[in-house]
Structure 1
């Protein structure tokens, strides 16, 4: 066999071996559960950074690494997802921080198309909140294994057994605690590893900026130091054993059970245990199914899915980046790939690894890695890139918008900047941009899942594109997909308006409310009115 013939096999073996070292996961939660703080703490414990910042930091405390956007730092919330690549314990961790606020859940949905597992973060006092439930539904639909981290155990909260019962009763996921807290919520002493029985007492560091000090103790010493809190924890652990709440890898990977860990991200309590558990338990990248349902093995030639577009991360260069999850094969900087949507070649001269807003050139990448391709003007969210055998992965659907507003440029002399900015925000998925023959290109309709998306649009149009806009909100809260035959009839009805969606060309009809929609469906049963996605599942009728 010639050297040339050996190359694909050798590359495939290399890709498979490197894929086994990868762990690609997202952090999901309800707003204010501590998601970005946990992301920072994980990076700190992996020695990727030397000190942690908090979203609501004061004085010299900076914003978290993953919250790089100016608006995120100002408001103390995550607006857009962020990727962090971390080398740890002979593993490569690709950690994707996601927005927690429901208004930005579409961005989270895209990220969940690019990961192999997820950390579900719960507030110890609040438990399962509405947005957490919606995000878990997406994980369930995508068969993504979930690790649960009960956060803020250093603050007053609920009983641990009560939280476990809620997880099982409300989402049907069997909780299997890997460790157990000593001390009630608000009086966090330390953690017992359920497998080894080892106790680790935790000591706070000033401001939680560095790793928490951990003091191992044997059972005799722990009982002496912790007293009644130790006895209560032992009784609860015994109960867990009696009810069979032990980790089972098969049911975890099948999405039937969830390993549970306790901690507090801000003072860095329990984060080391979470990191070790992810390395040990989270699945490595595996074959991804294409549009025909066929799995593409990780050792196949390169293929990747574009799951996020982001412009202007670098204020100096004003570039546009496509975030690509490597699905198979080895990526080499400079290789010429094929864009599945158009069949055209796509050069990859400028490829980077990202760490929040920081980035550096990356020469090679493997399944599970996230690469950022710079100046990727031809790419869109959901696109596939491949080398060798053609492949196309399923597109990433858009959510059903519920808020609509007409955008107009404040300064007509800056219409070019206005148009460029609107198009850019559309391709990034910040909002969906709809156009109609009646309103024209100069007054596009912006469609959003939540009203905060409009605030992002205003801010970015003014500060990034130098084209301030005014928004006129429309009295619609439902959208349905229709067709060319139904459009003229719908357009003549009161309480409805037909527009086209710019990127995919779909026709959408906007309707005032669900009652008006029911009247239209009753009076015109032959019209096409198809529901869109809502939260990753079909929108209820």
Structure 2
């Protein structure tokens, strides 16, 4: 390993964000293809597909053709060590995506050129925008008939409130796609699927480009670094058209790992001598045969080396990091050294929680908390087979620790209640309990509830009614599940001195 204070500058850590079906996972696959880590790009298809996406490793993802968990994908390209965090597209798993976005230094936003800005894209952009991190835009599916490029760029600027600067420009689309025009190098990149070159389509695009040069935004690297301007690319991930150009231009301007802020408003710089990092994700059963549990850590500063001893910020416990991996989806390799910007996986026996900060040295380091959502849907959960209580309890505890659903228990008793943001989370939970823990579970839907946390000193058991159910979260803190807004308002009137809290 060379000097880590120089090595981290070659790290590029980013997420790919999009609305479902915009082509995020397909783009990821082609990045891996060009990075030389896979021989053939998989496509995201449902049951019966002969090829499946490398980044969709979980059984339910392969069965349904959807991404429901964040994958970590690492490869080398152009002298850079690239860490891609491939996030879930489905809105029910936004919490996982939001936490993952805390671990990146930039993002690529994929937009369907026929549909434009879709709701989930807008939500994810807002999270990225709040952190002022660079974002690059890829208008995908150019090989299909889409909207006029000026309309797409105009919508991008007006809807998301960011300056757009096209790096290339489409010459036709769909059946008449001729290619894209590289605006920085004044050259046409021809589309391989074009049979006959259409001069009239080319001429029309050149007229649009002249308008761009006169009235468009000028490329501004400083604005890109601060998230105020987004470079715009056009292409087709499925046809592998424009993907290399996107990757290479992205790597020219993508930032190196940046400083992260602690709860004390101290900034930890990547070149700091002490090793620091934080757990942004926990994943159980990446290898079902071993029932393992991996804590994903973003290294913030310093250098990891095999056997390093770290302290957990939450409880001061010291742990030696001996068994550490890096990933290509569910494939892994042992790692001896890593630097700021890298993502490493720690084999975990229950020591880590999502959001945990780890560090070396005597001075305590705790990074800013990761976002946590207040669940809206609730279901009681029971085991079908009472003889499999051990696997039932183990499965629930491990899946809940991943943070994609939340666990509550009746205030007095052992009744389990699962809280989620969306219905798909229940379905994935049920599937994984059966598939990974051999435990069939049954849900008894409780419907929508309004969850509010309260101080343990304020708890009065008379608060527990059919319209305000008193429960505990998995940390033992009291929570009330209100039937509706009316019930919540009634409670506030009856207990005006009781402070109610919600999560993000």
TM-score range, shorter chain: over 0.9
Residue in 1 aligned with 2:11?
A: 22
Residue in 1 aligned with 2:185?
A: 196
Whether 2:231 is the aligned partner of 1:259: answer yes
Shift of 1:491: 2.2
Residue in 2 aligned with 1:430?
A: 404
3-state SS of 1:286 partner:
coil
Whether 2:23 is the aligned partner of 1:50: answer no
Find the aligned partners of 2:308 and 2:42 in 1 and give their Cα distance.
38
Find the aligned partners of 2:9 and 2:49 in 1 and give their Cα distance.
40
Find the aligned partners of 2:200 and 2:349 in 1 and give their Cα distance.
60
Q: TM-score, normalising length from structure 2?
A: 0.95
Shift of 1:167: 1.1
Contact 2:47 2:62 in 1 (8 A): no
Unaligned runs of 5+ in 1: 1-10, 205-212, 216-223, 534-541
Residue in 2 aligned with 1:38?
A: 27
Find the aligned partners of 1:15 and 1:246 in 2 and give their Cα distance.
35
Residue in 2 aligned with 1:120?
A: 109
Find the aligned partners of 2:31 and 2:339 in 1 and give their Cα distance.
22
Contact 2:46 2:62 in 1 (8 A): no
Residue in 2 aligned with 1:309?
A: 282
Unaligned runs of 5+ in 2: none
Residue in 2 aligned with 1:380?
A: 353
Residue in 2 aligned with 1:508?
A: 479
Contact 1:404 1:475 in 2 (8 A): yes
Residue in 1 aligned with 2:320?
A: 347
Contact 1:177 1:246 in 2 (8 A): no
Q: TM-score, normalising length from structure 1?
A: 0.89
Compared with structure 1, are the counterparts of its residues 356 and 492 closer, same or farther at alpha carbon in structure 2 (3 Å cutoff)?
Answer: closer
RMSD: 2.0
Shift of 1:490: 7.4
Residue in 1 aligned with 2:309?
A: 336
Residue in 2 aligned with 1:134?
A: 123
Q: 1:312-355: per-residue Cα shift (whole Å, max 9, x none)?
A: 11122111111111110110122111111111111211111100
Find the aligned partners of 1:315 and 1:411 in 2 and give their Cα distance.
21
Shift of 1:401: 0.8
Shift of 1:202: 2.0
Shift of 1:519: 4.1
- What does residue range 79-478 of structure 1 map to in structure 2 within 5 Å? 79-204=68-193, 225-300=197-272, 301-388=274-361, 389-438=363-412, 440-441=413-414, 443-478=415-450
Contact 2:314 2:356 in 1 (8 A): yes
Q: 1:197-223: per-residue Cα shift (whole Å, max 9, x none)?
A: 12110214xxxxxxxx9x9xxxxxxxx
Find the aligned partners of 2:470 and 2:46 in 1 and give their Cα distance.
46
Contact 1:288 1:327 in 2 (8 A): yes
Contact 1:306 1:380 in 2 (8 A): yes
Contact 1:15 1:328 in 2 (8 A): no
Q: 1:130-187: per-residue Cα shift (whole Å, max 9, x none)?
A: 1111111111222222111111111121111111111111110111111111113553
Contact 1:310 1:322 in 2 (8 A): yes
3-state SS of 1:52 partner:
coil
Compared with structure 1, are the counterparts of its residues 433 and 227 closer, same or farther at alpha carbon in structure 2 (3 Å cutoff)?
Answer: same
Find the aligned partners of 2:90 and 2:207 in 1 and give their Cα distance.
38
Find the aligned partners of 1:174 and 1:482 in 2 and give their Cα distance.
43
Contact 1:153 1:186 in 2 (8 A): no
Find the aligned partners of 1:514 and 1:120 in 2 and give their Cα distance.
36
Compared with structure 1, are the counterparts of its residues 374 and 126 closer, same or farther at alpha carbon in structure 2 (3 Å cutoff)?
Answer: same
Find the aligned partners of 1:449 and 1:59 in 2 and give their Cα distance.
30
Residue in 2 aligned with 1:72?
A: 61
Q: 1:488 aligns with which of 457, 460, 484?
A: 460
Aligned length: 502
Residue in 2 aligned with 1:499?
A: 471
3-state SS of 1:92 partner:
strand
Shift of 1:523: 5.1
Compared with structure 1, are the counterparts of its residues 60 and 527 closer, same or farther at alpha carbon in structure 2 (3 Å cutoff)?
Answer: closer
Compared with structure 1, are the counterparts of its residues 100 and 394 closer, same or farther at alpha carbon in structure 2 (3 Å cutoff)?
Answer: same
Residue in 2 aligned with 1:3?
A: none
Compared with structure 1, are the counterparts of its residues 126 and 489 closer, same or farther at alpha carbon in structure 2 (3 Å cutoff)?
Answer: farther
Compared with structure 1, are the counterparts of its residues 459 and 500 closer, same or farther at alpha carbon in structure 2 (3 Å cutoff)?
Answer: same
Contact 1:311 1:321 in 2 (8 A): yes
Contact 2:468 2:483 in 1 (8 A): yes
Contact 2:304 2:337 in 1 (8 A): yes
Contact 1:155 1:187 in 2 (8 A): no
Q: 1:38-76: per-residue Cα shift (whole Å, max 9, x none)?
A: 110111122221211101178773210000001000000
Name the stretch that deviates more: 469-478 or 84-93.
Answer: 469-478
Find the aligned partners of 1:368 and 1:250 in 2 and give their Cα distance.
21
Shift of 1:489: 7.0
Shift of 1:390: 2.8
Q: 1:8-41: per-residue Cα shift (whole Å, max 9, x none)?
A: xxx9x92221111011000111111111111101
Find the aligned partners of 1:140 and 1:496 in 2 and give their Cα distance.
37
Question: Following superposition, which runs of at least 4 residues in structure 1 exceed 6 angstroms of deviation?
Answer: 57-60
Residue in 2 aligned with 1:537?
A: none
